[in-house]
Amino acid sequence: MIWVDTIVQGILLGGLYALFAAGLSLVFGIMRLVNLAHGDLIVLAAYLLLVIVTMLGLHPFVAALVATPIMFAVGYGLQRHVLNRVIGPDILPPLLVTFGLSVVIQNALQEGFSADSRRMPAGSLETASLPIGPVTVGVMPLLTLFTAIGVILALQWLFYRTSLGRAFRATSDDPVTASLMGIKPQRVFAQATGIAMIVVTIAALYLGTRSNFDPSIGPARLIYAFEAVIIGGLGSLWGTLAGGIIIGVAQTLGAAINPEWQILAGHLAFLLVLLVRPRGLFPRATD
Amino acid sequence: MRAHSYTVSTRTRTSTYAAIVAVCLVIAAAILPAFADRGLIQDLFFIFTMLVLAQFWNLLAGYGGLVSVGQQAFVGFGAYMLFGAVILAGWNPIAALLLSGVGAFVLAIPTAFFAFRLQGAYFAIGTWVVAEVVRLIVAQWRAVGGGTGTSLPRDARDAMWGVEWIETVFDVRASAARDILAYWLALALVVATIGGIYWLLRTKRGLALAAVRDNMEAAQSVGVDAARMKWAVFLIAAFGTGLAGGLIFLQNGRISPDGAFSVIDWTAFVIFIVVIGGIGTIEGPIIGVLVFFALQTLFADYGSWYLIVLGLTGIVIMLFAPRGLWGLISDKSGIQLFPIRRRLSGVERAGPSSSSMEE
Amino acid sequence: MALLQTNGLTAHYGDFQALFGVDITLEEGECIAIIGANGAGKSSLMRSLAGVLRQDPEMVVLDGQPIGSLHADDIVARGISMVPEGRRLFPSLSVEENLQIGAYRSNGSGSWDLDSVYAMFPMLKERRKTPGNALSGGQQQMVAIGRALMSNPRVLLCDELSLGLAPVIIRDIYAALPEIRKAGASVIVVEQDIGQALKVADRVYCMMEGRVTLQGKPGDLSREAIHKAYFGVGE
């Protein structure tokens, strides 16, 4: 029975990782940009939520509603004024600029909030649990998984059923011809990053209420997100969900054998998939 | 009709002067321990070793087009190979240095195998993942201190080849003698590194490397084996990085997984050195390490602010002066101290012997 | 006043000059053709009109308004739409989505929408869900034309419609032009196929090496004159 419980916990953990990864996948799908500061932006959003919760006394979920437009603006501005300048065929500039950004964000948060661990209280939800069949699951982790599924459904709807989504896909295919349609690629990219930051805020909400966070945990989140995206296959949001779940399950299984092996187990699962399916499990046909 | 004989040359007048100056500097550096105080020797050790790391990262990214944020894997692994050989097999630390390089070289093989399945930014993060995996595995190695680390055993330290000789000749204590020894090794390493990379880039292989970086398909269409080049560059860089890692922690005397595999120390700082100095040139990292050292000396006490300034500087340089400080200098003046650009000079010869070859 | 005209249009790609002071005019309701060999500058001219190649403001004037320095996306809003050379459909979009994206920044109301495009090109309706690049060359050309029409442009730029297509298909494509003109668009056609260009155009410009070498009504121009203007040598 303990293995069933472990796997279920892993699936739920995977929901969190899928949330980390969805924003990364979105931005890469549209503009082939990998933001090395992605994990740190999640942490930044978590601190923003913390500030809103402490200053306005709101429940974290409500605080997320306040934080979302702020983070959208941060993403939009970042893309518009900094990252749009480095998008292009050369891979070095976006890599180095976002790496620099990662260092700046981590250390700015350190200066502003100190290196102490923080956590956001979520009231009774934190400890609530639900019996499902042979196992008992926490309400928060379950909510995290459902939210991840919901976010992906929403993004799929956005991409395939709206005019903006068409513009995203067209710009991703061919920015010059897209401009012939009246699309401003620069603005599309900025909107995409803004939306990615909304997903980041949601991820931060669940990160901050679930466990402790401090300014230095960004890079590890980036790595989990990246592993989920690669396992799932570039260009597939559902693949990203699958990837997150695989990482989550690998980690919980590893932890069940030996707590020190949790993170290593996740990495090894990633390397294994990379070995047998370099393009991921559900790669996009064209790239 | 005329016949032409073409020659390809790289030397310029400036570079010849620069070469002479460089030789003088190296000689001066070699005899420096006779006059300098210990602090200077230690500072120069830091500069030399960071420069070695920077030159190899630059070879990978600037010339090879392979952006790795996982080189700390080789620094750490090389260092742990040294400590392992000394502690477990009783090797002399100086001999164990070779193992640092070889060990990192061996590690680079499976690393490249996995990482080359990825492209661009994903390749970069992939190298980071491998570094994390190595760190986590090494942290389980109890014999060298596990998660908390360990120190180099005292008797091994005292027995390092050359230490006694330095103590007598320079009339210094054992610890100062060890610093001088490490300094000389670092000097040798940095000269070999820069000399080796410069030599490589001047050969046909170097030209092929630049071609692969600029346009892999075009390079392959003229017969360059792109995959082989990438492997070669990656393995060479790993060897050099591992060697430097072994040397750094040999001098340090103490090792821990977090220190040996630190992303900040062995990747972030190295990247900033190369970016600020000028990526894709040999001169760039030299300037970069000097600027970095100056910043480090002035601001390291300010902790996070120092890193914020460093990060912002890197971003600004990448946005507005992507070829770094040396790029700015070189563009304005056209100077190349390590000239790699090949110039074609043709000599026209007119005369009866050539025209009789026509028809 | 002409609907669209260029004044001394010049274009550079780095050190290379592609256009040397080109003057053309397009009257409301007209169809003009630009013919010339490869490298004559036809594409540079079209790209300047479409905003892909930005110029000095006064070099391109639409309805009296200088538009030379506007970006492509703003030019669409002003009512100039281009069918690009090589079709350039979006592979991630279906036929119907390619058409829909043409209306992204519509010029306001007009007679062109999905229904009227499907009415003109019925075989597209059968393939509305197919990905953009899974069609034959001729069908792709139809989609590209329909896509450009969806913004209800006043000026339609057609860059090398016949490129890579079989003669039968080319005829079918050009058969749609009268209907497009009747619905209110003025058309500029760039062609290497001289015969087709002369058949559909009210006036013709011939270009060579970045300059206009000949202009006039198709009926007024002799074969020799066209050959000379096109190739630069006598027959």
3-state secondary structure chain B: CEEEEEEEECCCHHHHHHHHHHHHHHHHHHHHHHCCCHHHHHHHHHHHHHHHHHHHHHHHHHHCCCCCCCCHHHHHHHHHHHHHHHHHHCCCHHHHHHHHHHHHHHHHHHHHHHHCCCCHHHHHHHHHHHHHHHHHHHCCCHHHCCCCCEECCHHHHHCCCCHHHHHHHHCCCHHHHHHHHHHHHHHHHHHHHHHHHHHHHHCHHHHHHHHHHHCHHHHHHCCCCHHHHHHHHHHHHHHHHHHHHHHHHHHHCEECHHHHCCHHHHHHHHHHHHHHHCCCCCHHHHHHHHHHHHHHHHHHHHCHHHHHHHHHHHHHHHHHCCCHHHHHHHHHHCCCCCCCCCEEEEEEEECHHHHCCCC
Q: What is the mean pLDDT of residues B276-284?
A: 90
Q: What is the mean pLDDT of residues B3-23?
A: 75
Nearest-Cα distance to chain B for A61, in Å, is 31
Whether chain C lies against chain B with 3 or more Cβ pairs closer than 8 A is no
Which of B37, B62, B64, B90 is closest to B208 using CA atoms?
Answer: B64
Give contacts of C151 with chain A, Cβ < 8 Å. Answer: 181-182
Rounded CA-CA distance C27/C46 in Å is: 17
Q: Which chains does chain C touch, 3 or more C-beta pairs < 8 A?
A: A
Given CB atoms, is B279 within the 8 Å cutoff of chain A?
A: yes
Selecting from B69, B114, B305 the residue whose C-beta is nearest the C-beta of A111 gives B305
Instruction: Please tell me whether residue A171 adopts helix, strand or coil conformation.
Output: helix
Given CB atoms, is B132 within the 8 Å cutoff of chain A?
A: yes
Q: How many CB atoms lie within 10 A of CB C10?
A: 17
- Binning pLDDT at 50, 70 and 90, where does residue B357 land? very low
Rounded CA-CA distance B48/B191 in Å is: 9
Higher-scoring residue by pLDDT: B98, C110: B98
* Binned average pLDDT, 10 residues per bin, chain A of 287 residues: 85 95 91 91 96 92 95 96 89 88 95 91 82 85 95 95 93 93 94 96 94 93 93 89 96 93 94 88 70
Residues constituting chain C: 235
Q: How many CB atoms lie within 10 A of CB C216?
A: 15
Given CB atoms, is B275 within the 8 Å cutoff of chain A?
A: yes
**Prediction ipTM score:** 0.89
Residue-level pLDDT at C219: 85
pLDDT above 70: percentage of residues in chain C: 98
Which of A236, A204, A223, A247 is closest to A75 using CA atoms?
Answer: A204
Which of C183, C177, C213 is closest to C197 using CA atoms?
Answer: C177
Interface test with C, best of A177, A186, A189, A284 (most C CBs within 10 A): A177
Answer yes or no: do C90 and A174 touch at CB < 8 A.
yes
Nearest-Cα distance to chain C for A107, in Å, is 40
Given CB atoms, is A272 within the 8 Å cutoff of chain C?
A: no
Residue-level pLDDT at C116: 92
Find the helix or strand (DSSP H, E) in which C68 lies: none
Give contacts of A286 with chain C, Cβ < 8 Å. Answer: 91-92
Answer yes or no: do A182 and C151 touch at CB < 8 A.
yes
pLDDT in tens, B299-344: 878 888 888 988 999 999 999 988 889 888 888 877 777 776 666 6
Q: What is the mean pLDDT of residues C38-60?
A: 89
Would the pLDDT of B146 be above 60?
Answer: yes
Residue-level pLDDT at B351: 44
Residue-level pLDDT at B7: 67
Q: What is the mean pLDDT of residues C80-107?
A: 91
Higher-scoring residue by pLDDT: B238, A122: B238
